[in-house]
Structure 1
Amino acid sequence: MCYQRVTSIILCLTLVGCSKQEPPIQGWWEPPVVKGATKRQWAERKLLDDTVIHRFIRSLLNQGESGQLYLKGTTLGKTFFDRSTAPKPPGWKGNWTYGNTPSLAAGALADLVIQDQILTADDTVFIHQQIATSSAYRLQAEMLPGYKLIPKDTLESIAERLTTKGKKSKLVDELEQRYGTSMFGQIAMPLFSRDFQTVIVEINQVCFGLCGRGEIFVVRRHKGKWQVVKTISGFIA
């Protein structure tokens, strides 16, 4: 009798436990749900860790110092904006916008899959996830030794101060005096394939005048080195 009662209790607890609905399995790329966290807090969390992004950028910059990997014939220099956003150059006509990720035209990813067979459809899903979490991207000085970084906040503060004084055209002069150069680099957040062997990159060289150069290109890892497998677009001013 006692045995039957214990068995019944165990069966009852088992049924109750089984009837409880389990939460859906969370994808590894999704940020953990924290009670009380706002959507904005988690929207600013990148999909990939800074160490992954900066390890790639360091290796790419080291390879590109000779001017033979990208922006061929151009020395990029050692001074970068910490984000791929810069103030509108004096006298520039038209729109002046830089996003945090490479400025890909509509259909560019599809071409890399269908025509070039550089990416897979699964890679494009992973890339879109990176783009969706790119708002927090910025270069970190401690992860790029040997390079000078101009913080976006500093840049905006200088531009605002000079605009207030009616000296917006003096922005380049002040940046050159402070950082010792009139040529500045921009690196958009690189976009990785699922296996991290193929990367979409945008690098620009800006001088806020009638000069500058930029490219969006794809590199692939081969025998420990990055090789350009396609140049998507570019400009020379």
Structure 2
Amino acid sequence: MQTITRRFLSAALLLVAMFSTVHLLTAYWRKPNPVVARKWSAPRLLLPDSVVYGFVRELLAQSDTMESRPNHPSSADFHISRVLFENNLWPAANGRFYSQCPQENGWWLWQLCEQDPLLTPADTVFMRQQMRFCTGYGLHQRFIPGRTIIPADTVWTLKERLHDIFEAMRILRQRHHTSGFSNISAPQFSVDHQTVIVEISSTCGGGFCGGSETWLLQKRGRHWHKIRLLSSWVS
């Protein structure tokens, strides 16, 4: 009899506890606060740094500097200043404008795949994915030995302090003993990493002199070769 009574009391207490729990949850339940996604840094590139900046170093190794060209003519395919901006920025613009990726202006990836079989459909998909994640790209001194990299913040801080972009560029040219600056965009790789689309730009600073070329390059052996000029402009 005592065993039955104990079992009955245990069951009754369990039911009371369950009903109490349900009552508390329904009476005092609060909607949990949403979890805020925090972005601690710029988006990571789709490809590892060794691939992206390895290509940039190879391209620089194949180029001559804009500073040496007048006195020492070279047959190099690429002419790039020894002083480069971190990003492709045009300080003459009213706001801060950055361009990390080649822009499809006058050319399209699908054309290089369907009309000119220079890329495969898989290549175009892969390149578009890289374009989505290129906002974390920038030339960094630790990856580019032997060249001088000017951070974008340095340019904008100097411009805002002087209130004159032309004076800011003049100071930067004197400081780094150069007549102009260059930038290499985030390279867009094919699936096998043997074909690249890249924009190489240059400017004297201020926005009134400069130019840009977007090339499709292919690697043959140890060197990158120009296959097609996709777009260009000069001012």
Is the structural similarity TM-score above 0.5? yes
Q: TM-score scaled by structure 1?
A: 0.73
Report SS of the residue matched to 1:142.
coil
2: CA distance, partners of 1:37 / 1:48 = 27
Tell me the residue number matched to 1:186. Answer: 183
**Superposed displacement of residue 42, structure 1:** 7.7
Tell me the residue number matched to 1:226. Answer: 224
2: CA distance, partners of 1:168 / 1:45 = 31
Tell me the residue number matched to 2:89. Answer: 85
Tell me the residue number matched to 1:117. Answer: 117
Tell me the residue number matched to 2:103. Answer: 103
**Superposed displacement of residue 67, structure 1:** 5.3
Note the alpha carbon deviations across 1:140-163, whole angstroms, 9 max, x for none.
Answer: 211111100000111111111111
**What does 1:186-205 correspond to in 2, within 5 Å?**
186-205=183-202
Instruction: Could you tell me which runs of 5 or more consecutive residues in structure 1 were left unpaired when the two chains were aligned.
Output: 1-35
2: CA distance, partners of 1:145 / 1:37 = 39
Instruction: Could you tell me which runs of 5 or more consecutive residues in structure 2 were left unpaired when the two chains were aligned.
Output: 1-34, 65-73
Note the alpha carbon deviations across 1:195-227, whole angstroms, 9 max, x for none.
Answer: 100000100111135432210010001122111
Tell me the residue number matched to 2:214. Answer: 216
2: CA distance, partners of 1:218 / 1:150 = 26
Confirm whether residue 158 of structure 1 aligns to residue 155 of structure 2. no
CA contact (8 A) 1:199 1:219 kept: yes
CA contact (8 A) 1:88 1:96 kept: no
In structure 2, relative to structure 1, the CA distance for the partners of 1:197 and 1:150 (3 Å cut) is same
**Superposed displacement of residue 137, structure 1:** 0.6
In structure 2, relative to structure 1, the CA distance for the partners of 1:154 and 1:42 (3 Å cut) is closer
Q: TM-score scaled by structure 2?
A: 0.74
Query: Identity over aligned residues, as a percent?
Result: 34
Larger Rg: 2
Tell me the residue number matched to 2:141. Answer: 141
In structure 2, relative to structure 1, the CA distance for the partners of 1:236 and 1:161 (3 Å cut) is same
In structure 2, relative to structure 1, the CA distance for the partners of 1:228 and 1:168 (3 Å cut) is closer
2: CA distance, partners of 1:119 / 1:47 = 19
In structure 2, relative to structure 1, the CA distance for the partners of 1:62 and 1:107 (3 Å cut) is closer
